[in-house]
Structure 1
Amino acid sequence: MAMTRWDFTLILNRQITPAEADALDTSSVPLFATGAVSYTTGGPDTSELCCDIEADSIITAVIHATQALRRIVPALRPVAARHDDTVTLGEAALRCTRSRQNLVQLSKGQRGPGGFPPPVTATGGTALYSWAQIADYLRSLGDDIPAVSWDLATVDLALRLAATHGKVDHTEIGELMQSLGHHPDAV
């Protein structure tokens, strides 16, 4: 597989301290030494790793960034990945050749064959959808929309799941995964 440059942002478990920032800045670990991975500090939110890494896949790139970070500051770890999958129907219309009104009609079953993806969340009366799901649906209707990679969304879910380690009953999670048809050792 050819190497590709991956640009992504990882959300860390907390702010980077000044001592940790110094350790990252003076590190000889290649990803930090070459600037392929940089970080944010300050403000009320957690720090972020801004990554621009060459790798076979985005998952491999995230693994490299995480391993490099943990070699320098073991207490820091990514807990989520930022990705732009969540959209309103208006934002989705800007990514395809359909109008917002047409997408609203599809979502309400007023047009098309039905089966439009449901919102992933609704806040304050605004429904938010997965762009990857909408793109898959529109492609099934024959629209010429490039395939959307699910890899970064999967990385985000994996990081969020890993962040809950120690906060959940692993016996029940194993039973849940088994009930969903997954072998417990495969998780």
Structure 2
Amino acid sequence: MPNYDFELILSRPLLEAELDPLFQLTHGLVTVGFVRELRGKEQRGQAGCRWQAPSLSAAIMEVIELLESLEPPAEDVPPLRVLSVEADPLLSMRDIAERVGRSLESVRLCIRGTRGPGNFPPSETTSAGHRLWRWSRVAAWYGVEDPQLHEAGPTSQAINGWLALRDVVPQVAPAPEEVTSALSAVLSNVA
């Protein structure tokens, strides 16, 4: 089974007391930032995931179920909810080097334009002083054919729609298995 990389946006950050239970549930395959205490209701959390499953949709749904099964550590802490998914990950230079099988220096020179055809994709964002690039753009620039990227766009859109539907009208939202089954049937014809 393949490994899938994706990020989940959470209704709140995880608290320090939730880290051990998260590690036990996910065997360390889900990484999160955490806070010691919640400050404000609008504070969002994020989870980076690398999960093995038969499909991207199955991987995402399994991790959503695990994260949302975490018991809040105190009565005044709201349950954790997944708000959205991003399946086309942002990568550091080191991540890019690993994925394309090049040295870090080779990637750095490509980014600067002194190696390769030029016009390296611009970084999407800067996090803690480090630039991050969208994998789909980098893969296209290097000519890497990543079959998981064929699943990323449609799967993210469908699951984000499902997440929104279950929050607005949960009584009509299909079960996670139904979403996964439908996506598997449709995406087998897309590649």
> TM-score, structure 2 length as denominator?
0.43
Q: Whose radius of gyration is greater, 1 or 2?
A: 1
